[in-house]
Amino acid sequence: MGICIKQLEEMLEDLHLYHFVNGTDEDLYIPFQLKNENILIHVMLLEDGRLIRFVVSPFKHLLYVKNKTRVIVKCMERNTHIKLLKYCYDSDTDNICLDIAIPLEDNTLTEAQLKRCLHYMTNVIANERSHFDYLLENGAWPETDELLEITRSVAILFRNSNME
C-alpha cells in the first residue's frame, strides 16, 4: 500500500508544519529550529512509498575529531537505549546522522506515526546534541544528575558498610 508524497504533504499541512519538496516524488524536507539551530529533516519515500525514511544529516560531523571511534561506539550504545531511531555513521562524509525507517507494506503512514517520528527526531536532537558535544570536547559521555546521585548513594552505602 505505502504512501505518496501528496498524502505526506497533506498530513504535514494538517499539522501546520512547513515543508518543501525537492522536485521529485520521493524527497521532502521539513525544517525546524531547535535551540537557535536550524535542523533539516529529509523524508524519503523508497520502494514505491512502501518504505519511509526520516534522516537528519549531519547530526555531528567527525572529520576533524580525534576520538572518532569512541563517538561511533557511543552511537552504537545509544542505539540500544533509544526506540525507533538509530544513529548511523557515513564513512564517505564522516557524518553521524539520525535515521528512522518504517516499512509500510500493508498499510499507509498515519498522522500519529508521522508525529511520533518527528517528535523522536527533534527530542533526540534537543536532548542528546549537548552530550555529544561534551563527548567530542572531553572524550567521555557526561554523567547525568540521576546517575551521579545513584553513584553517590552507592558510595555512601559502601563507605558506611565498611565502617561497621
Q: In the chain, how many domains are there?
A: 1
Taking the C-alpha atoms of residue 58 and residue 9, their distance in angstroms, rounded to an integer, is 24
Give the global pTM.
0.81
Which has the higher per-residue pLDDT, 12 or 69?
12
Mean pLDDT over all residues of the chain? 85
Q: What is the mean pLDDT of residues 151-163?
A: 56
Taking the C-alpha atoms of residue 24 and residue 5, their distance in angstroms, rounded to an integer, is 9
CATH no. for residue 25?
A: 3.30.1460.70
Range of the domain at 47: 5-163
pLDDT at 161: 56
pLDDT over threshold 50, residue 164: no
Chain segment 75-105, per-residue pLDDT in tens: 999 999 888 999 999 989 999 999 999 999 8
